[in-house]
Amino acid sequence: MKREVKFVICVGNSGCAASLELRKVYQVIPDEAGERQHQTRVIDESGEDYLYPANYFVPVQLPQAVERAVRKAIA
């Protein structure tokens, strides 16, 4: 089964300005334990995945062409 890639837009970065850019699209990495703690795991500006407060992000459904371009850019 192919894993669904989800994306979010950063709307908050208090204390994390070096790691998260406001209004930037980030790829979500599934993390059930983090979600139970109201955290979202994303690949941040370091290129690594880290947990951040879920309220720093808004889920976004990208048009297919944009999603393909984003996937290609992060591959």
29 occurs within a structural domain? yes
14 occurs within a structural domain? yes
Question: Is pLDDT above 70 for 75?
Answer: no
37 occurs within a structural domain? yes
- pTM, two decimal places: 0.84
Q: Any idea what the CATH number is for the domain that residue 67 is in?
A: 2.30.30
1 occurs within a structural domain? no
Q: How far apart are CA 25 and CA 46, in angstroms?
A: 14
Q: Which two tokens stand for residue 54?
A: 């879920």
pLDDT digits 0-9 by tens, 34-74 = 999 999 999 999 999 999 999 999 999 888 888 888 878 87
65 occurs within a structural domain? yes
Provide the number of structural domains found in the chain.
1
32 phi/psi in degrees, rounded to 5: -60, -40
Say what the pLDDT of residue 2 is: 47
Domain of 62 in residue numbering reads as 6-74
66 occurs within a structural domain? yes
pLDDT digits 0-9 by tens, 1-40 = 445 668 999 999 999 999 999 999 999 999 999 999 999 9
47 occurs within a structural domain? yes
